[in-house]
Structure 1
Amino acid sequence: MSERLICVFPGQGSQYVGMGQDLYDADAEVRALYEAANEALGYDLKRLCFEGPEETLRLTQHTQPAILVHSMAVWTQLSRKAIQPAWLASHSLGEYSALVAAGVLAFADAVCLVHQRGTFMQQAVPPGEGSMAAMTRAAREDVEALCAEVGADKGVLQPANYNSPEQTVVAGHTPLVQEAVEVAKARRLGRPVLLNVSAPFHCALLQPAALQLDTVLAEIPYGTFARPVISNVTAEPHPSSQEVRRLLVEQVTSPVRWVDSMQYAVAQGCDTLLEVGPGNVLSGLMRRIDRTVAVLSPDEVLGNV
């Protein structure tokens, strides 16, 4: 299984109150991860994950470390099963989880980084100024053309996530995102839906956050890659540890090229996907991208089903 396996790490949207508590209760190594995260952050992330409240957990500066710690808890258990994936990949925030799993980022550094990343993102755009919308059942070329038309010389409107061949998420100034949704509805271009998000992720409006993150990333040590990690920005493996900082900064304002990333892995011989973290969003997206790829859950690998 390991020779053609890709492990993928989810991003925001997969969080829920109670996440990870079963792993914590049953596993001393997982308990140590949560305690280390609490110490690194200076607040009780464990309690927030297990008890909520949900509205606080949904704040991006808390959501991001919560998902990273949960993903690494699952990864810790999978590692005992001698799982050796040929590739690692991730969606947005999940790239930090993948880089920890690859040995490039230290766990404590990554926890602090994503907390700061979330804070920078939330601060970059005043509430209400930015939005996102999912364009479902629409070809990416049509969505790109719509963004170019509606956003021309008016402000920021761009693809933010290429999630599947028929779903592209757009982000930008709220009036332009709203206009794009209305134009798409009028033209019967797929099924556009405004998203309830705290910030317009992966677009040029987050450039202030990218600049702040760059300063923080400059102080972080980077290890060598134990296994390749596919970059969200390029949809190809990070070329070296020296390029990680640049690609993580670019990721803040660049679209997540999920379709291209999965198609790259398949072209390299990947035939099995294992999602490492809360939820199964990325597993579902792979079924829409390439149904020939087998999809596994951690419970199946760990023997919990």
Structure 2
Amino acid sequence: MSKIAFIFPGQGAQYVGMGKEIAMEHKSAQDIFEKANESLGFDIKKMCFEGPEEELVKTEYTQPAILTTSIAILSVIQQNGIEADITAGLSLGEYSALVYAGALKFEDAVKLVNKRGKYMQEAVPLGKGNMAAIIGLDRKEVDSIIKEAQDVGTVEGANYNCPGQIVISGEINAVEKACELAKEKGAKKAVLLPVSAPFHCSLLKPAGERLSEKMESLNIGSLQRKVISNVTGDYIANEKDIKDLLIKQVSKSVLWQDSIELMLDGGYDTFIEIGPGKTLTAFTKKTARKLKKKVKCYNVENTKTLNKLLTELG
């Protein structure tokens, strides 16, 4: 019997047209988009389905757009009787995981990530921070590079995605120095990313503080499924930790590789990525390969990928 895990994508996976096909064919998905419009007070559905792209890529819109698309697709998967008892999401995707697990109401989550995006964008002036992907070095090597580059400014590990792929974040000159050092140490690639702010580093602490004010009145429901936190790379032990973890998550490293390893160690062998793109599917396969574990991975973002899942698992 396969053990299923649901995983949810984060920012960067968005594209114009996401969710449209499934929403046109499934009322439950259409209803989620309508609910998002109502909660937000603007037409996020139109932005997902039709763009324009220059609006969709603004962090304050990207975040609710991806969350809505993921939960809309999730509703169809659940309607077809496919469930998981464990879930995780990359950065923003953690909110989708918490909605699935019953800890957050969708209406609350979509409003919260709209604010989260806005606060993250506003925390660091444009042109002050950057992020870069370092490919082909292990965690130890990247961490020593980060340490060395901190001489010129703030730079930290932002996303530990999978073996050989780590994203760093911080002030532009320090990030650039780390990239130079990475190339000297034999990295296959060290490339600056087209992002609008240095996410998941201490420069984003003010965004976390602003988010915490919004969370004061937030109702957290009881966890119906196991959720792995980005901040700890471990199970969330108690509902009362959720707000604190989400606040920290804005300015702390995302331990994604650790999260997948924990699931693999727990015997999970079937991973379903729900929402736009298939980035997490690639990360999962790489991590499983390193641990010599066999996995089946699905990404569900349109009718074709949904039908494949339902044919094989439904």
Contact 1:120-1:212 at 8 Å conserved across structures: yes
1:166 aligns to 2:164 (yes or no): yes
**What residue in structure 2 maps to residue 62 of structure 1?**
61
1:4 partner amino acid: K
Could you tell me how far 1:156 is from its partner in structure 2? Answer: 1.3
Report the equivalent of 1:294: 296
- Counterpart residue number, 2:214: 216
Over residues 238-288 of structure 1, what are the superposed CA-to-partner deviations in whole Å (9 max), with x where a residue is unaligned?
111111000001101111101111111111111111111111110011111
- Percent identity, please: 42
1:22-41 equivalent positions in 2, closer than 5 A: 22-41=21-40
> Does 2:260 match 1:282?
no
Partner of 1:76: 75
Structure 1 SS opposite 2:227: coil
Question: Within 2, Cα distance between the matches of 1:281 and 1:175?
Answer: 28
The 8 Å contact of residues 164 and 288 in structure 1, kept in 2 or not, is answered as yes
1:8 maps to 7
How large is the Cα RMSD of the aligned pairs? 1.4
Aligned to 2:303: none
Distance in structure 2 (CA, Å) of the matches to 1:90 and 1:115: 17
SS in 1 for 2:226: coil
Name the CA distance, whole Å, in 2 between partners of 1:253 and 1:297: 28
Q: Residue type of the partner of 2:189?
A: R
Distance in 1 between the 2:88 and 2:24 partners? 28
Q: Does 1:262 align with 2:260?
A: yes
In structure 2, distance between residues paired with 1:164 and 1:203: 18
Q: TM-score, normalised by structure 2?
A: 0.94
Picking from 227, 243, 246, the partner of 2:244 is: 246
Instruction: Measure, in 1, the Cα distance between the counterparts of 2:141 and 2:299.
Output: 33
Any idea what the Cα deviations from partners look like across 1:72-91, whole Å, max 9, x if unmatched? 01110110122221210110
Query: Separation in 1 of the partners of 2:79 and 2:3?
Result: 19
> 1:229, 1:281 → 2: CA distance?
20
Maintained 8 Å contact 2:160/2:253: yes
Q: Deviations over 1:22-62 (max 9, x none)?
A: 11211112111111111111111111111111111001100
2:271 is aligned to: 273
Q: What is the aligned length?
A: 303
Unaligned runs of 5+ in 1: none
Code of the aligned partner of 2:275: G
Q: 1-side partners of 2:31 and 2:187: how far apart?
A: 49
Distance, in Å, in 1 between the alignment partners of 2:32 and 2:270 is 28
Partner in structure 2 of residue 135 of structure 1: 134
Q: In structure 1, how many angstroms separate the alpha carbons of the residues matched to 2:283 and 2:265? A: 17
Change (3 A) 1:304 1:65: farther
Where do 5+ consecutive residues of structure 2 fail to align? Answer: 301-305
Cα-to-partner distance string for 1:154-202 (whole Å, 9 max, x where unaligned) = 4310000001110110000011101111222234333111101011110
Q: Aligned letter for 2:48?
A: C
Tell whether the 8 Å contact from 2:275 to 2:299 is kept in structure 1 after alignment: no
After superposition, where does 1:38-187 map in structure 2 within 5 Å? 38-152=37-151, 154-187=152-185
Report the TM-score, using the length of structure 1 for normalisation. 0.96
